[in-house]
Amino acid sequence: MSCKDEQIYGILWNTTMAGITLKEPCPKYQKGVATRFCDEHGEWEPPNFINCTNEALVNASSLLDSIIANETRGQIQETVNNTLRLMKNLTSSRNGIGAGDLSSSLGVLEKIVTVTNATGFPIEKEVFYAVIDNILSPNNSNAWTTVSKETEKDPSFLLKNMDRFSKITLRNDNITTTKFNGSNFELVINRAKIDETGIRFPDEQSNNVFLNSEENPTFLKLKKQASNATKAINYVAVLYKTMSDILGSDSKRFIRSDKNVMMLNICGSLILSYTIFISSVEQTSNEVACVAITAIIHYLFLVTFFSMLGLGVYYFMSITVTYYALYVANNFQSKSRVRWFLGGIWGIPVIITATNLGAFWGKGYHLKSYCWLSIESGSLYLFIIPVCLISLINILIIVSLLRVLFASSIVARSSLQRKAS
């Protein structure tokens, strides 16, 4: 079977055998490679444009990379503001934007926040918020689904960077009232003395209304507080109106990422191992049961440490490799690798535990008083050695991360207090 010639989205997809993924250059004015899978029945699946990005956006992202890597010093503020204006135009399409442009836009926004945090240069906030508003449009829900599935840039990625930008804004003591009332999100930056007045967000004049006018709009109200504060407080309030549409029915506060999955593995293995350890480590009366308990605890503790190694390797690929080999790192982050991490995290300890059990069966595998590996017979070394190696590797990874951080212009221009933190 084969999929027949078909032209769609400006690309001619030539006849392809079933079970094959065809690669073609991205449409006009975009960089990258589009893919399309011909299924086993000889039917085309929808094209995948996750790696197709507008050329202007790619160039803007490269300029920001140069600024962050200290290769470009001049015109930083102008570069950032020009990039924001470009993004506002690119993301304002009523038909929505593609998955590749969405993913790249999220990455560029993160870089802009990073540069703003390091340099302190003011940017065009209204344009920044307009880009956020465009990205949060329900017209982009299909692109969000693809990006969330194939990369780590889910909606929480956007929320995190909005939070970072808000904290940067709040550092300024001379805050001026800023209001943004968009179609997809609202924002207020202001100062208030809470012992003199309360805070209501959004206010009565906002566009935050439901389709059903009989329902009350969503709002938050902080009543006047009994406080003797000498200074007004700075605050940022944000309302995301379309987040539930973007998250989709399958993803509506569980928001997953490779890091979260590996962190959950650490927690799960620790809970299981400690539960078994506390409840069963003294059950030495039954030899077979004690051997099983020892092996299970050994295995789960190894899973915990290999989970820590997995996180270390993930950060190494995401940060250190990004600094020295941007293409390799971007390829690594372009889609989830969690299945490979989980395979190693849970698979390698099986080999070590089984080897240890076979080598020391009937030779003092566990202690006489406890169901745990014996130092006298040497079985404990097959726990100590992997743990020491993992610790050493993670220390080396930490050193490499610190070298990258202190080699960047972002940290080099920071205060001593920020460098220490």
Q: Which two tokens stand for residue 47?
A: 């094209």
Give the pLDDT of residue 27: 84
Task: Considering only residues 71 and 391, tell me which one the structure prediction assigns the higher pLDDT.
Answer: 391
Strand partners, 44: 38
Is 358 a residue whose pLDDT tops 60? Answer: yes
pTM, 2 dp: 0.60
Give the pLDDT of residue 278: 93
Is 245 a residue whose pLDDT tops 90? Answer: no
Give the pLDDT of residue 256: 59
Rounded Cα–Cα distance for residues 76 and 394 (Å): 35
CA atoms within 13 A on the CB side of 75: 8
Backbone φ and ψ for 81, nearest 5 degrees, come out as -70, -35
Q: What is the DSSP letter of 174?
A: S
Quick one: 258-420 is in which CATH superfamily?
A: Rhodopsin 7-helix transmembrane proteins (1.20.1070.10)
- Highest mean pLDDT out of 8-12, 24-28, 133-137, 247-251: 133-137
Is 232 a residue whose pLDDT tops 90? Answer: no
Give the pLDDT of residue 134: 93
Nearest Cα to Cα of residue 63 among 85, 49, 78: 78
For residue range 131-172, what is the model confidence (pLDDT) as tens digits? 999 999 988 888 888 888 888 788 888 888 898 898 888 877
Please state the domain extents for the chain.
2-37, 75-247, 258-420
Nearest Cα to Cα of residue 360 among 343, 380, 345: 380
For residue range 190-221, what is the model confidence (pLDDT) as tens digits? 888 777 777 878 776 665 554 444 455 677 77
Least-confidence region, from 73-77, 108-112, 161-165, 214-218: 214-218
- If one looks up domain 75-247 in CATH, what number appears? 1.25.40.610
- The C-alpha angle 186, 137, 179, rounded to 5 degrees, equals 15
Task: Considering only residues 379 and 29, tell me which one the structure prediction assigns the higher pLDDT.
Answer: 379
Average pLDDT value for residue range 240-252: 67
Residues 6 or more apart whose CB falls under 8 angstroms from that of 189 comprise 166, 169, 175, 177, 178, 179, 234, 235, 236
For residue range 250-287, what is the model confidence (pLDDT) as tens digits? 444 745 567 788 888 899 999 999 999 999 999 888 99
Rounded Cα–Cα distance for residues 3 and 16 (Å): 5
Could you tell me the pLDDT band of residue 336, with boundaries at 50, 70 and 90? low
Rounded Cα–Cα distance for residues 384 and 260 (Å): 27
Give the pLDDT of residue 173: 64
- Rounded mean pLDDT of the chain? 83
